[in-house]
Structure 1
């Protein structure tokens, strides 16, 4: 028996040396029905975790829809806060819900592991628009916030709306509630209406309107990313124009708030290994995501700051009290 124990100890040590972090069984909760973005995140990341030998066996994917992620959030907080084998898929949409008080607790109830990629937000105008630059647009809005009809694929207080308002706030526009907003069922219908003159700009994800960019029918005034995007490296970022704003619709994961530092660090390392793999880079790009890494404490701080910004803007425009 002792010989067998020694054998397994040796095998475990060898595995640890081979994979900096030992593999373990894992489950990923997708807080939505099959087929959506959170389901995709769980299934694709789970597949690569298994293929790269970063977990033991296959990752079990559990769909837990309800409340745009609130049901899963409550379940983890109440029943699985210390479950080291658990990942939960989330995105900017989830943080928006948290900021607006639609989840049972704030972001500090969970441990935020990493973001692996994102749809990148853009501010677009028609090719014949009088606004030639982001400065032109924001100056017009600052002079008269109601002078430009703005639009996107989320309702008032949704992410397309909020990232535009973050830019407006950075430009010194004080009464954000005066900016007119129209919702359409997707970025493409919004662009079509913009090209017809019904609205003056569109705030949406670049992936949704990529075809219009390629055809030259619209002008991108700003990409809301840290760096130029790989597919369109010549498009200007808001940061390069003096506005320190990003607008990622990121895809990432959290785990329970009582998971140990050691287990949390192990997940961060596993996901960084996955992010660096050729399999994830190809999967992300083929799915229209820009591979972007933020992990561990950096990601936790980013989430906390996003929650704070979104809550402040939601309060300013009357979405929350």
Structure 2
């Protein structure tokens, strides 16, 4: 009887241990689930930083600052935002800085076509594949402007002269050769029958492009639409054409003819969006996607687009990734036409 009693006690103890073990397993499982749930609902733990890989006042800087302002004014993100300028290398300095933040989702940066072009030129070791696309927010377009007293009334007259006397016409832009201001002009001119390698392009990255145009050191200014508006208002320059699919809406810009309506069947989109560092988790990406979509649909962003003559062009992370891969192929073809190869 005593042995039976001891056996009974042993069995009960074993059951109790198994139950405890099962409890620990469940508890552990609950902790994992909780951790997973926390991961699924990631939120920033402290203030955030948006890098504009350029100096103050340009398109990247303006986009970054308006986004930060929108997140705050619309109460979309509770944490504060700081915008930091990392100028140099056509963006490469800023990209290098973000690459060192791998796995830290509190650092973002704004980018546009140079993120494709500069690496293809061999001027940066980092390309779009090295970062985490989060959301594209807007599209801007290129504009080709000349002095008010220039002899050309439209793009076709300009391109006809370039075909006959390419050495007599200088195109100026702020980006380096093989980057955006150069490539957008090449893309439209090529569609009009101009030999890409005959185009005489000079870069003025010191902000003197408009001065050089107005004083006669250059004949054509390749830039963004926004950069031409004030000088058009002042009557100092004329925009011969823009790279948009159709006429833009808004004061002044509605008068800018597109290349397409002049019979040149080509466009160039200056997309602009936000990226994170390498190695972001799905939960972190999902968090920012939701927030940027909310910003895109806000009154603040609608007013911002109208103010700067930007068009809506929202893409989520996966759409953005696919778009960038396709754009990279297109940019590579244009660089091949110019015989510009990366190292």
TM-score range, shorter chain: 0.7 to 0.9
**Is 1:166 aligned to residue 166 of structure 2?**
no
SS at 1:233 equivalent: helix
TM-score by length of 2: 0.71
* Farther-moved stretch of structure 1 (57-66 vs 291-300): 57-66
Of 44, 63, 71 in structure 1, the residue corresponding to residue 66 of structure 2 is 44
The alpha-carbon deviation at position 132 of structure 1 amounts to 2.6
1:168 shift after superposition: 1.9
Call closer, same or farther: CA 1:200–1:47 in 2, change over 3 Å. closer
Return the offset for 1:71: 4.5
Q: Map of 1:84-103 to 2, 5 A cutoff? A: 84-103=105-124
Give the TM-score, by structure 1 length: 0.75
Matches within 5 A, 1:64-103: 67-77=89-99, 79-80=101-102, 82-103=103-124
1:33 shift after superposition: 7.6
Q: Distance in 1 between matches of 2:154 and 2:54?
A: 40
Which segment drifts farther, 89-98 or 34-43? 34-43
2:312 aligned with 1:292: yes
Q: 1:137 to 1:298 in 2, by over 3 A?
A: farther
- Determine the C-alpha separation between the residues in 2 that align with 1:114 and 1:151: 31
Distance 1:77 1:128 in 2: 47
Aligned residues: 299
- The higher radius of gyration belongs to 2
C-alpha change, 1:257 and 1:22, in structure 2 (3 Å) is: closer
Task: Give unmatched runs, 5+ long, in structure 1.
Answer: 1-8
Could you say what the CA RMSD is over the residues aligned between the two structures, in angstroms?
3.6
1:35 and 1:44 map into 2 onto residues whose CA distance is: 13
Cα displacement (A) at 1:274 = 0.6
Gaps of 5+ in 2: 1-33
Aligned to 1:244: 266
- How far off its partner does 1:30 sit? 1.0
Matched with 2:228 is 209
1:133 alignment partner in structure 2: 154
* CA separation of 1:246 and 1:67: change in aligned 2, threshold 3 A: closer
Q: Secondary structure at the match of 1:252?
A: strand
Displacement, 1:62? Answer: 5.5
